[in-house]
Amino acid sequence: MKTVDDLEVQGKKVLVRADLNVPLKDGVITDDGRIRASLPTIRKLIDKGARVVVVAHLGRPKGEAKPEFSLAPVAVRLGELLGKDVAFAADTVGASAEAAVAGLGDGEVALLENLRFAAAETSKDDAERGAFADRLAALADVYVGDGFGAVHRKHASVYDVPKRLPHAAGGLIATEVDVLKRLTEDVARPYAVVLGGSKVSDKLGVIDNLLETADRILIGGGMLFTFLKAQGHEVGQSLLEEDQIPVVLEYLERAKAKGVEFVLPVDVVAATAFSADAEHDVVPADAIPADRLGLDIGPESGKLFASRLADAKTIFWNGPMGVFEMEPYSHGTRAVAQGLLDSAAFTVVGGGDSAAAVRTLGFDENAFSHISTGGGASLEYLEGKTLPGLEALED
């Protein structure tokens, strides 16, 4: 896979597929982590004299131009972080985009409007997607793929455009791939994996694959209640995927046979309602009251998880341990993050909500070995799937 370092881009128009899918509240960016992660590649291209055309998506506008999903605030923030003006085009392949690109000088940057305002970007019809890719490719001389958070999608800007232009991976994608190889090839052991988040069904594929590679799998978040139910415990009003119980039971049996340690919480924080103000108590994990729902792992579970991470040489963490956005249910996630930092392991935070939690809870991002920008892409890679965006950059 070629990288930006292999490209000669002086005076050339370089289309950079970035991941700028940041959270917005009332038009204000609440977490600019993904913009910051895109800066090294963009800066490198600027320094090499490229005319940089950045494309990205934000949210799920489903093929409609919806103002709340505009990248305009992102263009402002990107300019602030780069210390230079970033031209913003009000469309992606129309007159505004063409004018913005034509107006670029060497070392200048433009950001085009949300790719997903065009239904063709995400179309499953190859011809429709390809026609949109043709128009995108016509804006540039070279393509750089750097939106790791989207490489598991067969979208026009991710999969089809690099087939139409000389292409290379940006620094972010190159780093992500190197990290994921450390989680799948010649892994330093013990290898511990912490999985959280709301649904066990979202993690079935990765659990299936990790049973072949991990030494320990620690389960928290909403998905833990399906595991508890599978063991015959009362879970009250907690999130539960009853249809996944047979699969969970099979995984527990396989883990036992393979010597993979499954670590489940011993206590949980159970509340009367899904609210920060609700009455809540710490209860044993096998004795959740029928009228309560679990919203975090408990303090003893936090200590248990930290103890099972302490001697690990490699740790991958994907998914919070509870509803960390509400302070009473943030302590389990905090305990896991601290457990990663207290270990001497190569620590990888697997994107999405886990990365947001690290920032929200005030941890130093640089203290972790790597914080991924793509939770879904990371999980699919660990499942052993072929990622279309990486495949397109390989050839």
Q: Is 58 annotated as a binding residue?
A: yes
325 labelled as ligand-binding? yes
Which residue among 145, 147, 302, 352 is the active-site one? 352
In degrees rounded to 5, what are phi and psi of residue 270?
A: -110, 130
Distance (Å, whole) CA 291 – CA 164: 58
199 a catalytic residue: yes
36 is in an annotated binding site: no
Tokens of 69: 């999903």
Q: Which residue in the list 199, 254, 313, 385 is annotated as catalytic?
A: 199
Query: Is 380 annotated to bind ligand?
Result: no
Contact predicate 355/349, CB 8 Å: yes
Query: Are the beta carbons of 326 and 269 closer than 8 angstroms?
Result: no
Asked about 352 being catalytic, the answer comes back as yes
57 is in an annotated binding site: yes
Nearest to 306 by CA among 200, 226, 298: 298
pLDDT digits (tens), the chain, 395 positions: 999 999 999 999 999 999 999 999 988 999 898 999 999 999 999 999 999 999 999 999 999 999 999 999 999 999 999 999 999 999 999 999 999 999 999 999 999 999 999 999 999 999 999 999 999 999 999 999 999 999 999 999 999 999 999 999 999 999 999 999 999 998 999 999 999 988 888 888 899 999 999 999 999 999 999 999 999 999 999 999 999 999 999 999 999 999 999 999 999 999 999 999 999 999 999 999 999 999 999 999 999 999 999 999 999 999 999 999 999 999 999 999 999 999 999 999 987 788 889 988 999 989 999 998 888 899 899 988 999 999 999 96
Is 294 labelled a binding residue? yes
352-360 vs 331-342: helix axis angle to the nearest 10?
A: 90
34 is catalytic: yes
Beta bridge partners of 193: 217, 316
Distances (CA, A) of 372 to 73, 360, 378: 23, 16, 8
Residue 34 marked in a binding site? yes
Contacts by residues 338-343 (CB-CB < 8 Å, ≥ 24 positions apart) = 338/306, 339/302, 339/305, 339/306, 339/309, 339/310, 340/309, 340/315, 340/368, 341/367, 341/368, 342/306, 342/309, 342/310, 343/309, 343/310, 343/311, 343/312, 343/315
| 189 counts as catalytic | no
Please report the pLDDT score of residue 373 as a whole number.
Answer: 83
Q: Which of 34, 44, 77, 308 is catalytic?
A: 34
**pTM metric for this prediction:** 0.89
pLDDT of 229:
96
Cα–Cα dist 342/318, whole Å? 18
Name the active-site residue from 145, 171, 197, 376.
Answer: 376
Q: Say how far residue 392 (Cα) sits from the centre of its chain.
A: 20
> Which of these, 29, 11, 10, 12, lies nearest to 20 by C-alpha position?
29
Please report the pLDDT score of residue 33 as a whole number: 87
